[in-house]
Structure 1
Amino acid sequence: MVKGKVKAGKVDCQAYAQTCQKAGIKAYPTVKFYSYERTKKNIWEEQVNARDAKTIAAFIHGKLETLQNQGKRNKDEL
């Protein structure tokens, strides 16, 4: 799956409504990508139109590939 590639967690928004509200969660499931820099401008959020683990993992892999390719292009431009 995505083990070793990303750090992931999950939150029960019914039990921790305030946490989800603070994070801006409006739909389920939601995947948020946080940069290691942890600044608000580096948060990338996507709504996932699936509920099974394999589909969500494939979605995350695709987004990681996109981010890696963008990083390579940015380095090439320097």
Structure 2
Amino acid sequence: MSSPNCCVRVFQTEAGQWSVRSDTPGTGDGDYPSQSDAITAGVRMAMAEGALLTIHAANDAKTKSEIDFAGCSAPRVASIA
């Protein structure tokens, strides 16, 4: 688990894609075609890191929602193929 000051951000790029970025190096940042895919990835990353998740509104870096996953734990669930 990362430091309690870790932050994961979900935001829309100027190209219209959705990005997930963590301030922890090597966490598998990525770009996604839809907001829902990016939020799903962001929630998983934030839970794994015990991080603060910040979700920015479409095309608006000032409007955001935050969820703090510090100290939270969730059971690992196997992926269904």
TM-score (norm 1): 0.36
Which structure's relative contact order is higher, taking Cα pairs within 8 Å and 6+ residues apart?
2
Which structure shows the higher helix fraction? 1
Q: In terms of Rg, which structure is larger?
A: 1
Which structure shows the higher strand fraction? 2
